[in-house]
Amino acid sequence: MSTLIDAGRVAEHNAKLQANLQADYDALAGVLARRGQDIEKLTAAAQRFAVALPSWGVGTGGTRFARFPGKGEPRNVFEKMEDCGVIHQLTRATPSVSLHFPWDKTTDPSALRQQAEGYGLGFDAVNSNTFQDQQGQEHSYKYGSLTSQDAATRAQAVAHNIECIELGKALGSKGLTVWVGDGANFPGQHNLRGALERYLDSARGIYAALPDDWQMYIEHKLFEPAFYATTIADWGTSFACAQQLGPKAKCLVDLGHHAPNTNIEMIVARLAQFGKLGGFHFNDSKYGDDDLDSGSINPFQLFLVFNELADAEQRDGAGFNPAYMLDQSHNVTDPIESLMNSAAEVQRAAVQAALVDRAALKQYQESNDALQSAQALKQAYRTDVSAILAMARLRSGGAIDPVACYRASGYREKAAEARPAKAGASSSGIV
Ligand code: RM4
Ligand code: MN
Ligand code: MN
């Protein structure tokens, strides 16, 4: 199937919307100028913003109960890259893809790299998968992988992670994300301390195989699939392990991996303070690991996370550079549309956080003016920066309204014809 959307169509789409966008942009420029802010600087920063796409996000996700496949779903990693190419073409905010092995395993990494380059895409962290058994594997992960009681099973899980590093090297990736679902369903099932000791021992084996310019991202998650005690359940455990392993190990915060009402922005501040904030899996949730679109449930929380990131950047300068990735999976929307929206919502939070008057906020804080401190954040959060986002896309060669442009292009219908469902080909691999 012909890839990407015809550039002429994108230009046509933009031509129709450009006059209205300019009017909105000029009006916003005036509002911001009265606050002493230069819209052009904000737009330039929005153009530099980047968040990685999850390869598993372009397929329809499932729940524990079922998966309802959509039309034209990608059936292999090359088709996933086609969809990622379109998302980046229209949003200009997603220049890299995070792959998941073995779901995305290929025998021809250089062909994959070449295809990606053709779309202006690179590769962000690669993800290992020891939370399900793979065909032909010798030892089962039913009772755990990196924490397994059985040394041969642990060795197999370590070897898989090392294989992921090797594939990542061939693709130009610089990081490995390790999430393990290992844990216990019953009190007593695990010796809690023993399981973590085994985890650390295995993780040291992975860490030793990391190239010097790589990072290992330790992703914690409160529960699921283990329902009583997950070995890497919280940021405290993740932080302790990252400390034990060394400077290349850092913590990854997936927004959906905490108990409801957890103050995630405070976790972000703590990890940044101690130099262990490795990166994010952005998504949104109401109850658990819901993997909904970023900013769809609690956009204020997303803003508060970026407010901490802006503060850390101001304190720590250019060395502060956490990896931004999306991690979502859907049952009811077109995944391409959802990923485009999520990228824009994360970018929106970054721009809104840049609007916070940090000098004024500091003064309010120092004089214990709680009300004005809160208002300083609210003023930034309430500002509709949509025109900045759209202008950034337009100037970078993307679409003013990516979803409308995508729908008008007929891409999904063409994909449905070119990609008839294949038995046994699962795009997300989750259910
Ligand atoms: C996990 C976790 C990982 C992701 C898998 C698919 O809950 O979020 O990051 O790789 O789901
Ligand atoms: Mn995740
Ligand atoms: Mn998750």
Q: Which of 56, 130, 141, 179 to mutate to test the pocket of ligand 1 (most atoms within 8 A of CB)?
A: 179
Q: Which of 15-24, 175-184, 374-383, 416-425 has the lowest mean pLDDT?
A: 416-425
Give the ligand whose atoms come closest to the C-alpha of residue 285. Answer: 3
Give the pLDDT mean for 7-12.
98
Total residues found in the chain within this entry: 431
Q: Which fold has domain 43-341+404-418?
A: TIM Barrel (3.20.20)
- Residue 429: the pLDDT is 47
Q: Which residues are near ligand 1 (CB < 6 Å)? A: 56, 100, 127, 179, 219, 221, 254, 281, 289, 327
Nearest to 329 by CA among 88, 51, 59: 59
Q: How far is the CA of 219 from the centre of ligand 2 (A)?
A: 7
Average pLDDT over residues 405-426: 88
Of 295, 276, 275, the residue nearest 285 (C-alpha):
295
**Ligand 1 site-directed mutation target among 180, 282, 327, most atoms within 8 Å of CB:** 327
140-164 pLDDT per residue, tens: 999 999 999 999 999 999 999 999 9
Per-residue pLDDT tens over the stretch 94-107: 999 999 999 999 99
Task: Read off the pLDDT of residues 296-322 as tens digits, 9 standing for 90 and up.
Answer: 999 999 999 999 999 999 999 989 999
Cα separation, 221 vs 225, whole angstroms: 10
The 3-class secondary structure across the chain, one letter per residue, is CCCCCCHHHHHHHHHHHHHHHHHHHHHHHHHHHHCCCCHHHHHHHHHHCCCEEEHHHHCECECCCCECCCCCCCCCHHHHHHHHHHHHHHHCCCCEEECECCCCCCCCHHHHHHHHHHCCCEECCEECCCCCCCCCCCCCCCCCCCCCCCHHHHHHHHHHHHHHHHHHHHHCCCEEEECCCCEECCCCCCCHHHHHHHHHHHHHHHHCCCCCCCEEEEECCCCCCCCCEECCCCHHHHHHHHHHHCCCEEEEEECCCCCCCCCHHHHHHHHHHCCCEEEEEECECCCCCCCECCCCCCHHHHHHHHHHHHHHHHHHHHHCCCEEEECCCECCCCHHHHHHHHHHHHHHHHHHHHCCCHHHHHHHHHCCCHHHHHHHHHHHHHCCCHHHHHHHHHHCCCCCCHHHHHHHHCHHHHHHHHCCCCCCCCCCCCC
pLDDT tens, position by position, 223-261? 999 999 999 999 999 999 999 999 999 999 999 999 999
Residue of 127, 222, 427, 431 to mutate, ligand 1, most atoms within 8 A of C-beta = 127
Contact 281, 326 (CB under 8 A): yes
At residue 344, what is the residue type?
A
Instruction: Quote the ligand 3 centre to 233 CA distance (angstroms).
Output: 12
Band of residue 62 on the pLDDT scale cut at 50, 70, 90: confident
Give the residue from 105, 117, 120, 119 showing the smallest Cα distance to 2: 119
Tokens of 312: 């850390």
Ligand 1, residue 256: give the atom nearest the CA.
Answer: 8
Q: Answer yes or no: is pLDDT of 337 > 90.
A: yes
